[in-house]
Amino acid sequence: MGLYLCAFDGAEEIDGVEVGAYADFNFFRDAVVAAVENGQRGSQCPVLVEHHDSDGEWSSDESLRLIVELDLIGKALRELPPVEFNSAWKKKVATALGLKPRNLLDCFFDVDGEPLVDRLRGLAEKSVQRGAPILFQ
């Protein structure tokens, strides 16, 4: 089962990010805890890492804080070496698109091969602009 994060303005979908499996999202959050928070879960990125991953939402106020967290995450992960992909679909997408991670940040992308941190940041920006929550589906 996959995780889809999306924002709606009424019945209109503003944007959405197909993250991959819940395990992929947890792998990303575990990397954030290790690399950005030095093992102290929620100390630097509480909006991202402390939210239950299978339901609920981030409010537009939380999305504003998420943008700050994602900027911190991007900077930190860019400085670390890449790791092996944690799932078969990532290997397949990387091969198909010719993705060759240069750092840990490059190891995280959505199902279309787009950088995950950038996609999440864009979704959060739209959430803030429209005052719409990000839904976990």
- The span from the CA of 102 to the CA of 122, in Å, is 22
Over residues 30-79, the pLDDT tens digits come to 999 999 999 999 999 999 999 876 678 999 999 999 999 999 999 999 99
The pLDDT value given to residue 55:
72
Q: How many domains does the chain have?
A: 1
CA distance 9 to 67: 19
Instruction: Show the domain range for 40.
Output: 2-136
pTM higher than 0.75 for the full model?
yes
